Structure 1
Amino acid sequence: MKKINQTEILKETIVLMKMKQADELVQLKDQYHYTVESLKPLNLIKNAFGIIATSPEIKGNILSNVVGMTTGYITKKVLLGSTHNPIKRILGTVLQFVITNIVTKQSEKVKENDLQNG
């Protein structure tokens, strides 16, 4: 039976620790490059839009607002056309704002009812 030599055990341990250290250095470098890449402004913006695009709540709110704004704009154009009278233009903008708010709130109520019913 071979006698266990403490020096050999120590050498093997050192080799294993050096291998572990080299592996951890590679992982650290990879993480550094990943972090630098993810903190670039363009990537931050892409990630933010990605989150917005996948969130059903935000998509619903955007859709409600777009529908409301479109309805308000179309109502203003249908009722007033393109007038040069400043009073009519101000009243048209107020009307557009009111219609936009009403349609947006109604579409939010419809969404809430859909969620509750089903």
Structure 2
Amino acid sequence: MQNTTYTTKLKNAIQLLEVEQADKEQLLKEQFQQTYESLKPVNLLKSTLKDITSSSFLKESVLGSSVGLASGFLSKKIVVAGSGNIFRKLLGSIVQFGVTSIVAKNPEAIISLGRFLIKNIPHKKDINSNKP
């Protein structure tokens, strides 16, 4: 009698372990599928771009560098102004380098100056409303 209770307990324990094994196997398959999907090149690119766009520090540094490069380029164009003179081109490159480095190091000041100018420059609509 005691022998049959042990065998039934053993069978029940085996069934519980088989159910547990099946659950773990299913979880392992799901985890493998998630890992496989996340390692696809398209998904890696998506997650990298998402990380980049969510980083405020990176946004600010890219914005500062972009503003610096653009302002340096414009300042060179203004200095050179289509001249064929080698000295003006050299001076334009020096000005471009200087303006780019200054603006890239201080983007907050440039952005606040731009906002101030946009706010305080009278718009066409404002000028027309002030006329009698």
TM-score band w.r.t. shorter chain: 0.7 to 0.9
TM-score (norm 1): 0.76
1:37-65 CA-to-partner distances (Å, cap 9, x unmatched) read 11122222221111111111111111111
Larger radius of gyration between Structure 1 and Structure 2 = 2
- Unaligned runs of 5+ residues in structure 1 are 111-118
How far does residue 85 in structure 1 lie from its aligned partner after superposition?
A: 4.6
Alignment of 1:1-118 (within 5 A): 5-107=5-107
What value does the CA root-mean-square deviation take over the aligned residues?
Answer: 2.5
Runs of 4+ in 1 over 3 A off after TM superposition: 82-91
Relative contact order higher in (CA < 8 Å, ≥ 6 apart): 1
Partner amino acid for 1:66? Answer: S
Number of aligned positions between the proteins:
109
Partner amino acid for 1:30? Answer: E
- Unaligned runs of 5+ residues in structure 2 are 111-132
Partner amino acid for 1:91? Answer: L
Instruction: Indicate the percent of aligned positions where both proteins have the same amino acid.
Output: 36
TM-score (norm 2): 0.69
